[in-house]
Every structure is written in structure tokens, then in C-alpha cells.
């Protein structure tokens, strides 16, 4: 049932009272509430996935159901578990970063090593690592001392936050509301995207401990409900996930008058707003000498970066940057098209998808129609210029482009970094794919490239989506955006270690899956990841991983490994 003015007022009134109680709730008790949410997420995970599959129109026996396990209950289970540990550390007078390695990173930054954390991470995500880099000039001791965010001053009443939930990845609203509660010390009015309304009963059961105490209210409805919530006089802050157009309408108002206000930087919204807004994400493919198996696997990797959730991801790769001088370029592009063709078909469930695909094909008449039903679009020969629609419009659909730059080695990488920084709209995530030998040859040039890329997550031989799934990593745009030029947003979420000054997350993964990685000298045990759209056992592996994360145990590992290796 759509929320009304009466229910909105009642919700905010209850939350205003709840904010006082939240400020009086000790850290240990907050941890117990999170433990209940953690356990309830596992208990209702199957119901969550069943409803998600219905929303997205997926066949119940499709391997793609694994996406709903891995991007639904799984990150909420791991996220609450990590937050519980951080609160326990603070309650004991320790830093949440105690026990985590912190090393120097390029540009006078500090790098907090957040993945792997513990033996199970080392086994289940073997070959994958993640670091959170701080802003320049912040040393390790300062990072440890500042960690905790709002949980360091839990008695402070920070008021009521409105969270405008996303409609594409169903763990986004839960993770966003948890961050407001723990990191920002605010109670939450969560407004669901209408796409996710069928999940309301499940979310109400999962978050019942917070709802019953007056720390959370979940509301439904369209833009009019969101507008009423955002502008309610007793709401103190706003967080949203969506498009920059929606952000600007909230902050400056709609239409021509809103555009004038944005140009003059005179916001209508008189309260702070944080946001995660997506953008156009590039993938830099560094030339090297690849085997036929490498070409095929990395083509599937790139197709996954676009086709996961049918392209309805804020961090879906949209344009690959390849070397025009790479001798294997044509072979790779042929494998890329084949990967787009053989990925399983799926419905275009997200509103406006067909129109966005049609617009892309109109902008690029020579685009190739690919996929089982020719409903995917591959655009070759894109100019590396911000005037190109593919570099400035987030298509949010199964449309993928390729642009070429001259050169090889460090000069190609340098040019690709410059194009990524200067020509692409948005700063949420960037991927780099390269043969291990190429990475070794680049040496310090690679470190400099990672430091120079102005993106909130940088992934090397991994998809930036791994950063989203890593509970202790920060997630958000590169810092420094302003209300009138918001790009991919302002602020971070997830960040379960409550790191005070995160600048970016850096993810690394294996170039080849096991067992081929072992025979080729990488010595990593990770098979084809379960988030690959071509993974045949993703549904089973995703379900097993979610339940394992809820209650880890050695006896559960053999089934996970057996399923993963068959993928």
C-alpha cells in the first residue's frame, strides 16, 4: 500500500522519538540488534531470492538465480557480521582496524588490507584481495585512531535520515540503511523503489528488531512520497541511490527552473545529502600475449561486467579501452562478441531498458545486434571523446562499446588512464585487465596508474563489483564532487570497518581461473567466479555461500568447492 501524508507524518514522528532512544542505546546492544538482523536475513534468504527472481522474470532453474543470492542476502549477511565485529571492538576500547594490516600506498596514502580476512576468505576467495586507500597525508596510526565514524560518539542524536532505495540490486537499500544507523548514527525512513515493493514483507521480517524499537520505518510509493519525505521538516539528512538527474531534481528542483538553480548552485534542499549515482565505467584492456583460453575467459569476464543483472548496475562496465596496435585485438573482439552471444537470455525487467537500447542504436546505426534474441548491442569504433554518447550517457541496459587507443606498454596505459579520467562521465569504478607478465613489466607504472585513476573502486583482473560485495571495503564515488557537479555521488557506504577517510578501494583478482591458473604459474585456487554470467552452477554456489556466511563451518566447504569447480 502506498504511503500517505498521514503515514509519512506518523513514521517521521515515531523516528524522531526513536532517534533519542538510538542515542541512548549502547554499542553492545546495537551489536545484538545487528545479530538479530543477521540471523533473520539468513532465515528469510530463500523467500528474498524467490521474490527477486519473480521481479526479474528469471526462470527458477536458471544459473542466473545465483546473482540474486550473491547480490541479495549474501552481502547483507556479511555486512552485518562485519559491523558487529567493529562495534564489539569499539565497545572494548579498541579500533575496528586492530588486526588489519596497514601499509603505505602511492601518493602518501595508507592502504588498509580488508580482503582476505581470516582463513575462510583465503580459501573461498583465493587469489582475490582488496585494500581501502585513504586520502593522501593520513598515516597508519591516524587511520586506526579515527576508525569508528559515528559509532565513536554513539550518544549523539543525529536525527532522522531518509534513504531512497534503489530498484536494481536488492541489497542496496538494506546496506544503505545499516550504514546510516551505524556509521552516521541516524535512524532511518527507507522509501523503497516501486520495483522492490514485493520485497516489503521480507524486509519487514528481516528488520523487525529495528522497526519494533522505532529505529526504522519502511515506506512505499512513487516520486511524490519520496518528495514528501525528503522535504519533511523533521528529516535531518538524505541518502539516495539512483541517477544524477534524480539527484539534481531533489537538490535543485525539476525542469528549467531547477537547471537554472543548478547553474547558479543555489540548492532548494536545505539539508545534507549523500548519494551513489553510477556513471559510465571503463575497462582498460592492456595488450599482451594471451592464450586462446585467456582470450575466451577474459571476453566472458568483460561480458559479465556488462551483462550481470542485464546491465542494470551502476558500476556495469560500458566501454572497453583496447590497444589499436595489439596483434590479438581482432581475436579478442571476436571472442567478446561470442561471449555476448552465448550468455543466457533474460528479460528486460528494468523500466525504460528497451528505449535506452533503441536510443543507443539510433546514435550508433552500425552497432551490432548480439545475444540469443539480438537484444544486446555491441558498438565498435567509438571515438575516445567526451562528445561520444557512449562515454557520457549511462545506458543502464545491455549496450556495450569499444574504443581504441594507439600504443602498447606504459604509453598505452598512460593514455587509457587520461581518457578514463577526462572523457568518461562518472567516477564510481574502473577495471583493468592484463596478463600477469604485463603487470610485472609495468611495475611502478601500474602503481602510478592506480593512484592516478580518479575512481572510487579500481579493480585489476577483477570486476569492481567485487568491491561492492566486500563488506569491509568502502563503496562510492571518488571524493571531491559537489552538489552542482555530482558525477557519481558524494560520500561512501558499506565500509564496515568504519574507516574515517577512505578515498578508494583497490581490488585485485587472478587473470586465469583454477585449475588453469595453477598450471600457468599464478597458484590461485579460485575457479570461474559465481558472478560470471556464464557460470553453470552459480545458483547453487551462491546459495551455499550465503548460508555459509551466516554460519561458517569447515563441514560446509566441500559442497561449496564442488559446486564452484563445476561452474
Instruction: List per-block mean pLDDT (blocks of 10 residues) for the chain, which spans 567 residues.
Output: 84 98 98 98 98 97 98 98 98 98 97 97 96 97 96 96 98 98 98 98 98 98 95 97 95 95 95 96 98 97 98 97 98 98 96 97 97 96 94 97 97 98 98 97 97 98 98 98 97 98 97 87 87 97 98 97 94
For residue 2, the model assigns a pLDDT of: 77
**Can you list the positions of beta strands (E) in 368-456?**
368-370, 376-382, 399-405, 429-433
Residue pair 45/546 in contact (Cβ under 8 Å)? The answer is: yes
Q: How far apart are CA 469 and CA 486, in angstroms?
A: 24
Calculate the CA 70 to chain-centre distance.
Answer: 12
For residue 377, the model assigns a pLDDT of: 98
HSE of 375 in the Cβ direction (CA atoms, 13 Å)?
A: 16
Residue pair 360/377 in contact (Cβ under 8 Å)? The answer is: yes
Q: How far apart are CA 241 and CA 167, in angstroms?
A: 9
User: Angle at CA 34, nearest 5°, toward 32 and 35?
Assistant: 60
Query: Could you tell me the three cell numbers for 483?
Result: 552538489
Q: How far apart are CA 249 and CA 150, in angstroms?
A: 29
For residue 517, the model assigns a pLDDT of: 83
Helices 27-43, 538-550: crossing angle, 10 deg rounding: 150
For residue 70, the model assigns a pLDDT of: 98
Max Cα separation, the chain? 66
Name the residue with cell 538527474: 245
Residue pair 130/114 in contact (Cβ under 8 Å)? The answer is: yes
CA distances from 552 to 81, 111, 204, 559 (A): 11, 27, 25, 13
According to CATH, where is 3.40.605.10 located in the chain?
5-78+151-276
Say whether 232 sits in a helix, a strand or coil: coil
Right CATH for 281-462 from 3.40.309.10, 1.10.760.10, 2.30.40.10, 3.40.50.720 = 3.40.309.10
Query: Could you tell me the three cell numbers for 99?
Result: 588486526
Say whether 482 sits in a helix, a strand or coil: strand
Residue pair 77/42 in contact (Cβ under 8 Å)? The answer is: yes
Q: How far apart are CA 429 and CA 387, in angstroms?
A: 20
For residue 492, the model assigns a pLDDT of: 97
pLDDT in tens, 513-537: 988 888 777 888 889 999 999 999 9
Sign of CA dihedral 240, 245, 249, 251: positive
Residue 28's CB is within 10 A of a number of other CB atoms, namely 12
Residue pair 49/85 in contact (Cβ under 8 Å)? The answer is: no
Q: How far apart are CA 61 and CA 58, in angstroms?
A: 8
Q: What letters, b where the CB count within 10 A reaches 16 and e where it falls short, cover 507-541?
A: bbbbbbbbebbeebebebbbbbbbbbbbbebbbbb
Confirm or reject CATH 3.40.605.10 for domain 5-78+151-276, answering yes or no: yes
**Can you list the positions of beta strands (E) in 513-556?**
none
Q: How far apart are CA 384 and CA 419, in angstroms?
A: 7
Q: How many residues does the chain have?
A: 567
According to CATH, where is 3.40.309.10 located in the chain?
281-462
For residue 518, the model assigns a pLDDT of: 83
Name the residue with cell 525528503: 230
For residue 471, the model assigns a pLDDT of: 98
Amino acid at each position: 500500500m502506498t504511503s500517505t501524508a498521514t503515514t509519512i507524518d506518523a513514521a517521521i514522528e515515531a523516528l524522531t522519538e526513536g532517534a533519542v532512544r538510538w542515542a541512548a542505546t549502547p554499542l553492545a546492544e546495537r551489536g545484538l540488534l545487528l545479530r538479530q538482523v543477521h540471523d533473520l536475513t539468513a532465515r528469510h534468504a530463500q523467500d528474498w531470492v524467490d521474490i527477486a527472481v519473480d521481479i526479474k522474470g528469471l526462470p527458477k532453474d536458471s544459473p542466473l538465480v545465483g546473482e540474486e543470492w550473491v547480490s541479495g542476502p549474501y552481502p547483507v549477511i556479511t555486512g552485518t557480521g562485519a559491523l558487529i565485529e567493529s562495534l564489539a571492538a569499539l565497545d572494548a576500547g579498541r579500533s575496528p582496524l586492530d588486526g588489519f594490516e596497514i601499509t603505505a600506498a602511492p601518493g602518501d596514502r595508507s592502504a588498509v588490507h580488508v580482503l582476505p580476512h581470516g582463513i575462510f576468505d583465503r580459501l573461498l576467495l583465493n587469489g582475490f584481495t582488496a585494500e581501502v586507500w585513504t586520502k593522501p597525508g593520513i598515516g597508519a596510526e591516524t587511520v586506526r585512531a579515527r576508525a569508528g565514524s559515528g559509532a565513536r560518539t554513539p550518544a549523539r542524536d543525529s536525527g532522522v535520515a531518509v534513504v531512497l532505495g534503489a530498484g536494481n540490486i536488492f541489497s542496496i537499500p538494506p546496506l544503505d540503511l545499516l550504514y546510516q544507523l551505524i556509521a552516521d548514527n541516524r535512524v532511518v525512513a527507507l522509501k523503497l523503489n516501486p520495483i522492490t515493493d514485493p520485497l516489503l514483507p521480507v524486509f519487514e521480517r528481516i528488520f523487525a528488531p529495528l522497526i519494533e524499537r522505532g529505529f526504522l520505518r519502511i515506506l512505499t510509493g512513487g516520486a511524490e512520497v519520496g518528495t514528501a519525505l525528503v522535504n519533511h521538516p523533521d528529516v535531518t539528512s538524505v541518502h539516495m541511490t539512483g541517477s544524477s538527474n534524480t539527484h539534481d531534481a531533489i537538490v535543485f528542483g525539476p525542469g528549467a527552473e531547477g537547471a537554472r538553480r543548478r547553474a547558479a548552485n543555489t540548492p532548494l534542499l536545505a539539508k545534507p545529502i549523500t548519494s551513489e549515482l553510477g556513471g559510465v565505467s571503463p575497462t582498460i584492456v592492456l595488450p599482451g600475449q594471451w592464450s586462446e583460453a585467456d582470450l575466451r575467459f577474459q571476453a566472458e569476464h568483460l561480458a559479465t561486467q556488462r551483462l550481470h543483472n542485464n546491465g542494470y548496475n551502476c558500476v556495469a562496465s560500458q566501454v572497453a579501452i583496447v590497444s589499436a596496435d595489439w596483434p590479438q585485438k581482432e581475436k579478442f573482439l571476436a571472442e567478446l562478441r561470442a561471449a555476448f552471444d552465448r550468455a543466457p537470455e533474460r528479460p528486460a525487467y528494468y523500466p525504460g531498458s528497451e528505449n535506452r537500447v533503441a536510443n543507443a542504436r539510433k546514435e550508433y546505426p552500425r552497432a551490432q545486434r548480439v545475444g540469443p534474441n539480438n537484444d544486446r548491442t555491441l558498438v565498435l569504433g567509438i571515438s575516445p571523446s567526451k562528445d561520444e554518447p557512449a562515454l557520457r550517457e549511462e545506458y543502464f541496459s545491455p549496450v556495450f562499446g569499444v574504443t581504441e587507443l594507439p600504443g602498447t606498454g606504459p604509453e598505452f596505459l598512460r593514455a587509457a588512464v587520461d581518457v578514463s579520467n577526462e572523457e568518461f562521465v562518472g567516477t564510481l569504478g574502473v577495471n583493468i585487465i592484463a596478463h600477469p607478465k604485463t603487470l610485472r613489466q609495468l611495475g611502478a607504472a601500474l602503481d602510478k596508474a592506480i593512484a592516478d585513476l580518479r575512481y572510487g573502486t579500481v579493480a585489476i583482473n577483477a570486476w569492481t563489483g567485487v568491491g561492492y560485495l566486500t563488506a569491509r571495503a568502502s563503496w562510492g564515488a571518488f571524493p571531491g564532487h559537489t552538489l552542482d557537479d555530482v558525477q557519481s555521488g558524494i560520500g561512501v557506504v558499506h565500509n564496515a570497518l568504519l574507516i574515517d577517510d577512505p578515498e578508494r578501494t583497490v581490488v585485485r583478482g587472478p587473470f586465469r581461473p583454477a585449475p588453469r591458473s595453477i598450471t600457468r604459474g599464478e597458484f590461485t585456487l579460485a575457479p570461474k567466479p559465481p558472478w560470471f554470467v556464464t557460470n553453470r552452477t552459480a545458483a547453487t554456489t551462491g546459495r551455499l555461500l550465503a548460508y555459509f556466511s551466516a554460519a561458517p563451518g569447515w563441514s560446509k566447504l566441500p559442497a561449496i568447492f564442488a559446486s564452484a569447480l563445476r561452474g
